[in-house]
Structures are given as C-alpha cells and as structure tokens.
Amino acid sequence: MSRRLLIAGNWKMNLDSRGATALARAVKHEIVQRKLDRDVMLAPPYPYLDTVARALEGTPILLAGQDLSRHESGAFTGEVSAGMLIDLGCHGTLVGHSERREHGGDTDDTVRAKLERAIRSGLSAVLCVGESESVRETGAAASMAFVEGQLAAALAGLTEEECAKALTIAYEPVWAIGTGKTASTSDAAAMHAHLRASVANLYSEALASRLRILYGGSVNAANAADILGASEIDGVLVGGASLKIESFGTIYRAGAA
C-alpha cells in the first residue's frame, strides 16, 4: 500500500515570534509553490502557535503541538491542554518525544495517557519511540524489543479505529537526535518493518499497512532523499534542519519526481 509522505518539522525550543512568523511564511511559500503530493506538519513552541496558525491560514500545512497535558483542564500550572491546542488551530500534537521522556519525566504510562487524551479530544498524534545509545549498544534485537515495548505500552488503551483515524508513529533513535549521526537507512527501515509487524500483532494487518511511520534523528538536506526513498519510511520528523527554509525546503522536495 502506498502511504502519502509526511514531512514534519519540530522546532523544539527555538526561534522568537518574528523568526517563527518568518519561517512559517517561508514554508507556506515553498508548499504553495511546489504543491507536492506530500503532507507537511509544523510543531512550533506553544507561545508561537497562534502566530504560526495565522501565517499558515488557507494552506494545507498541519499545525501541531510539541506535547500536551494528560489532563483535560484545571489546576495544572504550566501545562497546555488538548482543547487549547485545538482552539489555536492545531490538527495534531507530538506525544512521547524522547526529550519529554528525558527532561519532562514522561513515563510509558504518561505517554499512554497523553496519547489517549490527544486522540479522544480530536487531535491527530505523532507518537515518538526510540532507543537510547545504551540500549543500541546491546544490539539490534534488544533495540527492537525496547521500541516494541514503548509502542505496546503507549497503545494499550487505544482501539484500532482510534489508531486508524489519528495515529502516526515516529521512530527516533535517541542517539541520532541532534548528534549528526543517523541510523543507516537499512537499519531504520528494519526497525520500521518491525514496528509495522508489531502493529499488525497488536491490531491487524489492515491497520499496519496504512499507518505512517516516520523517521527522525539528524535528518538533513543531504540525507533526506535516501531516507525518504525507503519504502518502509513514510516521512521524516526533522528538528534542527527544520529551522531554516533552505534545508527544510530541500527536505520537502527530496526525492520528489
């Protein structure tokens, strides 16, 4: 089954409001001009969601949060709810990014709860999974078992229909994030195939064959075409290289006919 590619930019904690607006406008210009058969998603920092939403108005570019609260509303100082993201025009949100797991204390249980909150509130969700360097060092089989465990824990409360409607998976090996090291395309593709088989096991072949699985971790203008060329890889989640239109634009066009 051919799955439409998704090119997603995670701006992390970067830019200011002028820079965010300028970058959003530049991405809009690129997408409107090229009109490739690919989806584009941008995840700016929370304070710039509104300004980026305005800059993207009238385009098919999908706006996303970088995280969300597991709670619906209430006394949760500093947190942002699914409803607020929707209110600001978000289509979706990242969930379980390794930086939230590492610095924000997200456990597998938190990730499961956030994923359910996102999808049941009407957001699409990009669920991030990936092994650390120390797990990687123990071998490919151990890495696959670890990532499969993260996946199963996160999906524990979701129905097949919910996954079909709103779920994308992003495989982001932690050792490749921001390091300039990428998984080889064949290693990444093997992990994607393993994740797809896990989804088939947990739910069905039908869901597994239509679910998009993105790769993230030091994707850049030079390596994107190779990564996007792998049939198991349905798009990319880009950090650093999404902050400049030159590199993000090149990644958007990479390998396109």
Q: CA 251, CA 225: separation in Å to the nearest integer? A: 7
Does 103 qualify as catalytic in the annotation? no
Q: CA 23, CA 156: separation in Å to the nearest integer? A: 37
For residues 18 to 57, the per-residue mask of contacts with ligand 13P, x marking binding by CB under 6 A and - elsewhere, is ----------------------------------------
Among 115, 119, 158, 237, binds ligand 13P (CB under 6 A): 237
Helices marked H in the chain: 17-34, 49-56, 82-87, 98-103, 108-121, 133-136, 140-155, 160-166, 185-202, 205-210, 224-228, 245-253
Ranked by CB distance to ligand 13P, the top (closest) residue is 239
Among 92, 96, 173, 239, binds ligand 13P (CB under 6 A): 239
3-state DSSP helix/strand/coil % of the chain, to nearest 5: 50, 15, 35
- Residues that bind ligand 13P (rule: CB under 6 A) add up to a total of 14
Map the footprint of ligand 13P across residues 174-203, applying CB under 6 A: 177-178
Q: What is the CA radius of gyration of the chain?
A: 17
Rounded to a whole number of angstroms, the minimum distance from the CB of residue 108 to ligand 13P is 18
- Are 182 and 176 in contact by the 8 Å Cβ rule? The answer is yes
Query: Of the residues 172, 192, 194, 232, which is catalytic?
Result: 172
- Are 112 and 157 in contact by the 8 Å Cβ rule? The answer is yes
Q: Does 10 bind ligand 13P (CB under 6 A)?
A: yes
Map the footprint of ligand 13P across residues 57-86, applying CB under 6 A: none
The footprint of ligand 13P (CB under 6 A) covers 10, 97, 172, 177-178, 216-219, 237-241
